[in-house]
Structures are given as C-alpha cells and as structure tokens.
C-alpha cells in the first residue's frame, strides 16, 4: 500500500470517486487552477475538466448555495471552504436549506453534499485560520459531521461522505495535513460514518478525542505508561452521528474518563459527552469526568497559540487528578 499524508489521502479519495462516478464534482475558491490552498484538489482539473472542477468567486454563501442547487439536480458536489473560519456567511445555506430539504420535502428530495474545510490551529496562521467551532455544525439537525485523524481514515471517510445521500461537514485538521504518513489502501476503500476506533487499548482510564487531539492523547498515554497507568484512547472519527457504544463500553471497563478537545470550553462537545457518560455510566465511575480544552477566548495569534492548545502535559495532569480522586 502507498504511504500518504492526510492531504494526499484527500486527493486520492477525490480522484477515485470522480473517476467512478461522473456526478461527483468539486467547487470552491482556487480548487481548479491552483489545486486548492493546501493542494487537496491538485490535478483534478487536468483529469476531469472545468465542468467538474470549478473555481468560484470569493463567496462562501455562493459556494454552498450553488452546491445545494447542484445536489438537488443530480450532482454530488464536494465544496471546499478554504478555512473553517470563513464558513459563517455560508452557514446560513447549511442551516436554512441543506440540512432541511429532506424533511421540508417529506423525503422527496435530499442533498448529497460534502463541505470540506480545514479546521483547528497549531500552524501559526492568521486570524480566522485556526478556529475549531465544530459544535456549530453538530448542533444542526440534518447535518453529519466527520472529523478524521489518520490518512487512511481521511480517505475512507471522505469516500463514504461523498456516497452519503445527505449533507456531510468534513473537517480536516490543518496541522495533520502533512504531519505524518501511513499506509493507505489503494482503490476502493471506505470507513463507515458513525463508527469510532480504539487507537490504544488500556484498562485504567478512557481518553476520548478527535482530530489533532487524538495524537496529543496518544502521546500522553505513552508517557503515562511510564507511571504504570494504562490509558485507553478513543478516536471518535465521526462527531455526528456519535458512536456512543465505544465510549460507554470503555468507561464501564476503566471507570474513569478524560475528554480532550481543542475548541473553547463553554458548550464544547466535551460537555455533551460528559453528560452522556454521567447519565449512562454513573454507577461505574470511580471519579468525576474530566475535560481538557482550549480557553474561552478567540484563538490567539502565533506567539500564544501553544499556550492555548491542549498538549500532552495537560492531558497527563487531568489523568493524574482523576486517578488520585
């Protein structure tokens, strides 16, 4: 199997699906001539032509609105938003139309649309280029939200998202694009939406994470092992629909849970996960559920971003606290 990083896995999935299905197309700012700001769509224009690989004006509202119309008329658009911090103008189209049309039409119409966007921080980018507001999509009924960590999951889940009959928000962590490689299956390869994975097995504490926080948690787990603490790390892969079973089964075995997220603490996804664990695992818990998160501020510019982002030491501190509860 070829070795790929995350952005190569994005490109590989798009190449395969566009070859297989002529209704799949991509559109967004600079996706055609330049190949996308991170080169995720590089080479698509030459292979599939300007009717299926479309550069758009600088209008996120227009990109998603046009994609909804294309989806209603038989296409499977994959829209690229250059950074998730630019989505707000297009958010109205996602909430008011893409997410509602199946219910609004009583099942007569559906919107097979994927909206890809880089998300998160850690690469010393500018304002609006490092945000991690995944909860604003999770909260909207009718949207699926996928957030893979590894290259093979990027390919498998992007392929599944393109084939899904309903709108999917596909978040790609900006720091993971070129940070590591792994073997990725060639050709046909899918990973089911809504299924998490155990990234590391353990018996003492469950650490739940997604996106770049999976690798942060794995690094923490490796260091905790030196103190005879075996941490189980769960990579959610899909935030909605949520694989509750993999979380609850693990917490019932370990009796302890730490949830790690990059976004702000108030109303973060970790709050929801903590509530689920409290409601369904209360009698199994040996300590309160702990959350590790960013701070309730705008994402800082590069001099302070390492102080904002949760790191392995923050996770280790949280684990040690609940282990000694």
Helix (H, G, I), strand (E, B) or coil at 18: helix
Whole-angstrom distance, CA of residue 295 vs CA of residue 228 = 30
Element containing residue 208 per DSSP (H, E): strand 205-209
Q: Of how many residues is the chain composed? A: 325
Note if the bond before 188 is cis, omega within 30 degrees: no
CA distances, 108 to each of 6, 73, 93, 105, 235 (Å): 36, 12, 19, 5, 35
Contacts of 320 (CB under 8 A, 6+ apart): none
CA distances, 157 to each of 86, 171, 207 (Å): 23, 11, 22
Q: State phi, psi for 291 to the nearest 5 degrees.
A: -115, 135
Element containing residue 133 per DSSP (H, E): none
317 is catalytic: no
Q: What residues pair up with 206 in beta bridges, in sequence order?
A: 232, 257
Q: What is the largest CA-CA distance in the chain?
A: 61
Q: Which of 97, 110, 129, 173 is catalytic?
A: 129
- Contact predicate 23/51, CB 8 Å: no
Active-site positions?
Answer: 129
């Amino acid at each position: 199997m070829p070795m790929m990083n995350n952005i190569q896995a994005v490109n590989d999935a798009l190449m395969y699906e566009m070859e297989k299905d002529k209704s799949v197309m991509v559109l967004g700012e600079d996706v055609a001539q330049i190949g996308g700001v991170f080169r995720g769509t590089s080479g698509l224009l030459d292979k599939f032509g300007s009717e299926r690989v479309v550069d758009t004006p600088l209008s996120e509202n227009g990109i998603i609105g046009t994609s909804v119309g294309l989806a209603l008329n038989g296409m499977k658009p994959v829209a690229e938003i250059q950074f998730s911090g630019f989505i707000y103008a297009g958010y109205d189209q996602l909430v008011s139309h893409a997410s509602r049309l199946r219910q609004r039409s009583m099942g007569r119409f559906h919107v097979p649309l994927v909206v890809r966007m880089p998300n998160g921080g850690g690469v010393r980018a500018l304002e609006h280029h490092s945000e991690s507001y995944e909860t604003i999509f999770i909260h909207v009924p009718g949207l699926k939200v996928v957030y893979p960590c590894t290259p093979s999951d990027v390919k498998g889940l992007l392929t599944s998202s393109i084939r899904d009959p309903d709108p999917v928000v596909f978040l790609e962590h900006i720091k993971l694009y070129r940070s590591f490689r792994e073997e990725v299956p060639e050709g046909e390869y899918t990973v089911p939406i809504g299924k998490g994975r155990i990234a590391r097995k353990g018996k003492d504490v469950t650490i739940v994470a997604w996106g770049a926080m999976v690798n942060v948690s794995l690094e923490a787990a490796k260091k905790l092992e030196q103190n005879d603490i075996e941490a189980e790390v769960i990579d959610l892969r899909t935030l909605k629909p949520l694989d509750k079973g993999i979380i609850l089964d693990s917490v019932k075995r370990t009796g302890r849970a730490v949830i790690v997220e990059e976004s702000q603490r108030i109303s973060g996804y970790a709050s929801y996960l903590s509530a689920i664990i409290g409601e369904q695992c209360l009698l199994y818990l040996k300590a309160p559920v702990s959350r590790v998160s960013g701070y309730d501020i705008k994402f800082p510019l590069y001099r302070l971003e390492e102080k904002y982002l949760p790191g392995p030491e923050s996770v280790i501190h949280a684990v040690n606290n609940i282990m000694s509860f």
